[in-house]
Amino acid sequence: MKLRTILFACLASIAIGAPAFGADLPPIITKGPALAAPVSRCAPGACSGWYAGFGLIGNGTNADIVGNGINGSVFAAGGAVDIHGGYQLWNGALFAAAEASLGYEFSSPTSNVPVANNIGSSFVGMELVKLGYNFFPSQQAALTTSSQAPVPLTVPANLLAATTPYLVFGGMQRHGISEWVNGAGVETVIAQGWSSRAEYLYAPSQQGQPSNQIVRIGIDKHF
């Protein structure tokens, strides 16, 4: 009887002292490590990497937009929609990119463009190299809060810091021939991972084709 009484006393003592003993132990941490926020590959002052996008091409015959309107100038000889992609380097100052695009052109016959240039709709391709320099680089930029806009738009201290001008040159294939093109453009970072561009290209008269003034606008997603 004494042994049984001693065992019961020991068990009771352990049961009573268990909560106090557990209270002395450090709490068990079940929360995992915090996930790092995703890093954008394109922001004002730093936009390097692969990109892809879509755009609109105007095949013009003159630059008199005020006098002739958009249809009589930028789209006088037709237009095209295109998809494009490439790789670029931009550290806020120096800019370089290589790009390829493919589009479908809708030609429009005009009185001042030879018939050879209006042989119907066709595919148009381009291989372009871009080189530029931003004379107003800046790293100062901030993100808007979610309550201000559903898309985290960038708000650079200086709009010029998010925009870089560049020269562009390369080749264009249309109507079964290859042509040399050159011109200039500007690219602007409009949101984290997104940019827009506007370009002017000139294709001089070559291989029996008249000269062309080409306007390209587009939007790109950076990866």
- Cα–Cα distance, 183 to 128 (Å, whole number): 10
151 bridge partner residues:
none
210 pLDDT higher than 60: yes
- Quick one: CATH architecture of 49-222? Beta Barrel (2.40)
**pTM to 2 decimals?**
0.68
Helices (H) and strands (E) in the chain, counts: 2, 10
Residue pair 178/172 in contact (Cβ under 8 Å)? The answer is: yes
Strands 49-60 and 78-90: antiparallel
Q: Check residue 79 and give its pLDDT.
A: 81
Residue ranges of domains in the chain: 49-222
DSSP state of 192: T
Q: Check residue 223 and give its pLDDT.
A: 92
pLDDT in tens, 83-142: 999 999 998 889 999 999 999 887 655 544 433 444 555 888 999 999 999 988 765 444
- Cα–Cα distance, 102 to 162 (Å, whole number): 27
